[in-house]
Structure 1
């Protein structure tokens, strides 16, 4: 290039194009600017083709000011020129500018193409803009283009409009994997995991092979539903993509969240490449499954050989400390976040410290910590402290904490229920009546406990006192036999976990009907002895069901895993992985 400039020589457009592509590949910004200067030297006006290549170069380098100056000075512009500018502004998240250029190109009589719309759809700042763009797409006759359809589904899903996204999917026969991936991913990311898996099955029946994007979304859906067996089947599809880091991380997450740490550890050891997400997933998985000391050991291994810890890593580390009662270690890690790793504490970290102090019975320190926080405490942090108030039977502090929650979320039924139980345990019956009256006046009802278990690819769900299951008579009959057996080894129903306006036998009958007990019994009568019983629950496990599960594993010689919204309880030989500290 220097020699050409020295001798005043010009190359043909193809040569310039190749030189510019080399600059892009090597991030050679200065050399790229030199080529730009050369092609415009001596008053030469290059063809639109070269200008578009230069425009693309500046956009790839995120030099949008230079791109705009070049664009404004171009004597001729086509759809490629406009689309390059729209794409550049979208990539830099300057969505207002991207939409402005879309309007300007149409005013100049240049029709957007599928690449223009695929780019600009990302610039939608709300559903109204999205609907207007959708109308423009239909007017331009591009609603059948696979990339435009895929982008539409993605953006509708992003805005929670799954119905509209699904309508785009169903409007015509889908003949491309890109569109299938968009709709499956949209449902999985929005928590509609059943629908995502149904679509995956439809896709397979339609003859489409799954790729990395498909499998990542399906694994996310398995994780959301805690479907370990289905997840294992998906893992079998992943073997040919075993070097794909994103898929491997999704597998790790699925196994950890399904409570199968043996599978997770095996997958982690097989990974040829690990990033901060891989390490953080394992640290959090170990902590949530009651193996806090191993989680902290994993953190030390990460610091020695892995990437720098990030925000999520430290949440896992602090969670491990709080669930193992390691107050000093938790404080040390919390205080070192900013100093060692440049991580500013966020709500999740603050919540872990409140949990750490609350579990350890340091309620005064916990309330002081909340008052000194840089961030305004949210309901999650206050609820964490309220749970500690129940464990340590501090009704007065619970009253104050509940007031803070209800000022932010006046209809939070969990707070009313927990406060009512705290008052009941302290024999404050007038306060119990006051809480229930408040709930009734606001139309607030307690969310029923629900537990579910996967058996032979079918999910069986139970709620408190469920009579709908086809095997319910057998389940209750076996429940009575099981309670007799575990009573002989020390089980005594804990009446603290039933409504306090019930009497003697009614209380015991109520405890028998807890949803996780029904699921446990179904697992015992349906699964062979060597197979673990895995149960999911929408609410935290109560103390009575915890004692029930421990003794059931002792008398029946079984392995039971129960996942509640906070952690996993692994029961074996009459012991729980949480060490009764939850």
Structure 2
């Protein structure tokens, strides 16, 4: 009998050591040399063998040992073994402590077996705040928000007081402002509004619903003594394209003595990206260097350089990244395409298929964009038609949009109409506007009128439809129809957005608008512009008056082209920067053909590198050539 008891104690000790990594006590007989290392490595097979022996002899371990064994199953992703432990614990009428059942509950949640977790939860004789919070968090994580909210109500009815983790979890389940307000009120009642995680969650959820003022109010309620809260409010504004406020808050954070971490810098880079602040992005890059292996941060840095038009920096970052995920590859492919290097983008996609991760929805979008902006109709059709078979990706609205753009640029208007009617989603305003823009470019008045009518059915106040239709009529010299469209716009109070270009000089933004003479150096800029045009005219430049969309004559038509906003910004850049510095201009409307010609010629004449970003893409002008190959 003594020998049997000694054997059972040894089994329990073996189980405990296999799960927790404890060393053998001197009184236990020597075991195989490798077993100690296996125990330190959480040797699940040996642990389960020990559990089998204990079951055969009707022996129970202590709660701590079982908890370690459950964690061991979780670490190995061993669902079957975890369920065996569950059965063993509840065998022979044994009633485990609440903390051990909570450990089982957590195991099922981590295995994403929510039905099993719910069964365990429902059968618990006693549920504490950990039990409730585990289930609320589980349902919030999988977006079963109604269940999470109902559990909070039942929890309160049972008299269990939520803690900071409960509120942080349930806030993620809030879909409506009214829900947030109620939870916020409960947080104030229990005095948890100062908790770091609760405040951060409140800011995040208000931000998710676009309630930035509410988020800012939570932030300002008390002195912020934690970087987590700072990161939440900075991210809120960066994600909602309010880069100015995000960067202002970042400066306040630094002045308050908080160093930036990966989360902070990711938001700063997002703000710089949205505002195309390349120089500020480069300053942030210096701080990124200390987090050399952070993939998310380096993806944000890569995106910033691509979207700020600095391909040299983007390529440098991409090539030195030790680890690249699908976001890295997709960002670089899209960046090359948007900057006019479509063939290089497609070559990179070929490399990705060989050595990179499996392409996803966004990757194919970048590939189709590259085809569209290089006029590669056959290639575009190939990628579009094979994306489902090769990669299991169903075409989405954005993919159809790229294909329509590709066909429109190539003048294949009939194919565009056919594809619109074959789409697996209902055409929206953007779809019809793409067709209308193609009709304008290729002067198909009848189809343009049809497309405009479809747009106005969906949005009777759509400015773009009226402007594009007016431009289509103007391209065909149908001035009476132009006048009628503009009369309708006046009656409806619809105004065309004026063309605006801006450039950053000495950390200040200088904006130029056609006809606006408010810039303090406008007279000197105009004088320099006239001199450049005279020199270019002597070299063969002839203003392309096809881009004048008004019924004007001769010199009037040329004068209206002369002071387009991008020309003014380019000249101001030449006046302000040394020759070795790139001139970067941003524009709110698509660059016109005459300004495109002017930029190519002035880049060659002045030996400058000029980059213009319009809403669609970047144009890199150098040595009289544009990266778009004159196809845009």
TM-score w.r.t. structure 1 length? Answer: 0.98
Moved more, 150-159 or 352-361: 352-361
Aligned equivalent of 1:88: 138
CA–CA distance in 2 between the matches of 1:139 and 1:513?
62
**Are 1:172 and 2:222 matched, yes or no?**
yes
Shift of 1:498: 3.4
Shift of 1:505: 4.2
Shift of 1:474: 2.1
Conserved 8 A contact 1:530-1:558 = yes
Correspondence 1:102-501 to 2 at 5 A: 102-501=152-551
Shift of 1:490: 2.3
Q: What RMSD over aligned residues (CA atoms) do the two structures have, in Å? A: 1.3
Shift of 1:394: 1.2
CA–CA distance in 2 between the matches of 1:168 and 1:186?
12
CA–CA distance in 2 between the matches of 1:332 and 1:233?
42
Shift of 1:471: 2.1
CA–CA distance in 2 between the matches of 1:471 and 1:167?
41
Conserved 8 A contact 2:388-2:395 = yes
**Are 1:508 and 2:558 matched, yes or no?**
yes
Aligned equivalent of 1:47: 97
Aligned equivalent of 1:26: 76
Q: Which is bigger in relative contact order (C-alpha 8 A, separation at least 6)?
A: 1
CA–CA distance in 1 between the matches of 2:557 and 2:317?
46
Paired residue secondary structure (1:470):
coil
Aligned equivalent of 1:73: 123
CA–CA distance in 1 between the matches of 2:559 and 2:530?
10
- CA offsets 1:511-567 (integer angstroms, 9 cap, x no match): 233221221111111111001101111111111211111111121111100011111
Moved more, 446-455 or 556-565: 446-455
Shift of 1:507: 3.5
CA–CA distance in 2 between the matches of 1:242 and 1:431?
60
CA–CA distance in 2 between the matches of 1:27 and 1:162?
40
Closer/same/farther in 2, CA of residues 523 and 561 from structure 1, 3 Å limit: same
Shift of 1:334: 1.0
Number of equivalenced pairs: 582
CA–CA distance in 2 between the matches of 1:519 and 1:318?
32
CA–CA distance in 2 between the matches of 1:249 and 1:177?
22
Shift of 1:418: 1.3
Shift of 1:292: 1.0
Paired residue secondary structure (2:117):
helix
- CA offsets 1:359-408 (integer angstroms, 9 cap, x no match): 11111122122122222222222222222112211111111111111211
CA–CA distance in 1 between the matches of 2:208 and 2:563?
40
Larger radius of gyration: 2
Conserved 8 A contact 1:489-1:551 = no
Conserved 8 A contact 1:540-1:564 = yes
CA–CA distance in 1 between the matches of 2:59 and 2:506?
75
CA–CA distance in 1 between the matches of 2:204 and 2:429?
31
TM-score w.r.t. structure 2 length? Answer: 0.90
- CA offsets 1:247-294 (integer angstroms, 9 cap, x no match): 111111111111111111111110000111111111111111111111
User: Which structure 1 residue ranges, 5 or more long, are not aligned?
Assistant: none
Conserved 8 A contact 1:570-1:577 = yes
- CA offsets 1:37-70 (integer angstroms, 9 cap, x no match): 2221211111111111111111111211221121
Paired residue secondary structure (1:14):
helix
**Are 1:568 and 2:568 matched, yes or no?**
no
CA–CA distance in 2 between the matches of 1:191 and 1:464?
26
Shift of 1:87: 0.6
- CA offsets 1:168-190 (integer angstroms, 9 cap, x no match): 11111111110111111110111
Shift of 1:506: 4.1
Moved more, 508-517 or 249-258: 508-517
Paired residue secondary structure (1:324):
coil
Conserved 8 A contact 2:479-2:551 = no
Shift of 1:502: 4.4
CA–CA distance in 2 between the matches of 1:191 and 1:564?
18
Shift of 1:503: 4.7
CA–CA distance in 2 between the matches of 1:504 and 1:168?
61
Aligned equivalent of 2:19: none
CA–CA distance in 2 between the matches of 1:453 and 1:254?
18
Conserved 8 A contact 2:164-2:192 = yes
Conserved 8 A contact 1:90-1:122 = yes
Aligned equivalent of 1:101: 151
- CA offsets 1:134-186 (integer angstroms, 9 cap, x no match): 11111111111110000011111110000100111111111111011111111
Conserved 8 A contact 1:230-1:457 = no
From 38, 49, 57, the counterpart of 2:88: 38
Paired residue secondary structure (1:123):
coil
Segments of 4+ moved more than 6 angstroms: none
CA–CA distance in 1 between the matches of 2:337 and 2:74?
44
Aligned equivalent of 1:528: 578
Moved more, 345-354 or 299-308: 345-354
CA–CA distance in 1 between the matches of 2:421 and 2:124?
60
CA–CA distance in 1 between the matches of 2:226 and 2:513?
42
CA–CA distance in 2 between the matches of 1:205 and 1:497?
50
